[in-house]
Amino acid sequence: MPTPVTPTVRIIGRPNLDREELHRYLAEIGGQDWTAHRPDYNDTQDLIEVAGRTCYRSFAAGLNPNVTRVRTDPDAYLGNIVEHRHGSVLEHAQYTFIIQNVSRVFTHEWVRHRQGVAISQESLRYVRLTELPFWYPEWAQNDPELLSRGQQILTALEDFQTWMADHFQLDRAGMPFHEKKAKTSFMRRFAPEGLATVLVWSANVRTLRHVVETRTDEGAEEEVRLVANQLGELMATEVPALFADYVIDDTGAWTTPHRKV
């Protein structure tokens, strides 16, 4: 029986700032007091602030003769970056996610975001299907006849996958891997686009903001909206100063006056 699944997003990689090397650099340029107002470190937000302040040498007043005042509150500094759309410095901070139990309908759309991302997807040329996990939106789960007929089709396809594996003798001792690969690649042609899969997906903060804005929009596909909303919730907790400008409207869309930072 095909397994119902729910798309999930997890952060598995985030920036790791080398504080010792950063402090050596700051001491060389006379900006060592910059960290005094940072009792609780957030590597991502500090990395972006370092990038921004480097552009103006604004770690302290007077380091750049043109800069006589500097913002000392990190949230205010980062808020100013977002407000003035200085998005280039957001590109320094890269995050990696496991996006699990999403359909290939989802991945066909998600991979259109190419700028500032890296993508690795489970390959059905190599991974043999033994079951067909499938996500049903809530409205479909509330339609018993639709659910029943859908499960019948998935069960038949799942049984066919099992039959093909036996027919091709894929578990026969000594079968060359290239032959297994060729047969497995053929078998995936009988898997539905709604089949659940998994991505490892990396993106910088500038790209993440853009994806959350565009993919939680009311017109986006509903599975895509579900994942983009999870992404936004994770990042709003992870780097609150960089997502504080967002408001979630009545449709569930993440909106901001600072789009495309």
The percent helix, strand, coil of the chain (3-state, each to 5) is 50, 15, 35
Domain spans, the chain = 16-91, 125-190
What pLDDT score does 143 carry? 97
Helices 177-187 + 144-167 axis angle, to 10:
150
In this predicted structure, what is the pLDDT of residue 50? 95
Q: Which one of 19, 215, 225, 259 is the catalytic residue? A: 215
Per-residue pLDDT at 9: 98
> pLDDT per position in the chain (261 positions), as tens?
678 899 999 999 999 999 999 999 999 999 988 887 666 789 999 999 999 999 999 999 898 999 888 888 899 999 999 998 999 999 999 999 999 999 999 999 999 888 889 999 999 999 999 999 999 999 999 999 999 999 999 999 999 999 999 999 999 999 999 999 999 999 999 999 999 999 999 999 999 999 999 999 999 999 999 999 999 999 999 999 999 999 999 999 999 998 877
Nearest to 205 by CA among 84, 74, 79, 44: 44
Q: CA gyration radius for the chain? A: 24
Dist. CA 148–CA 217, nearest whole Å: 31
Kindly list the strands in the beta sheet with 94-103, ordered across the sheet, starting from the edge strand earlier in the chain. 8-13, 94-103, 196-204, 117-121
At residue 215, the pLDDT reads 96
53 has catalytic annotation: no
Predicted pLDDT of residue 37: 66
Q: How much is the pLDDT for 72?
A: 85
pLDDT at 39: 64
pLDDT of residue 259: 82
pLDDT at 114: 83
DSSP one-letter code for 251: T
- SS3 of 202, please? strand
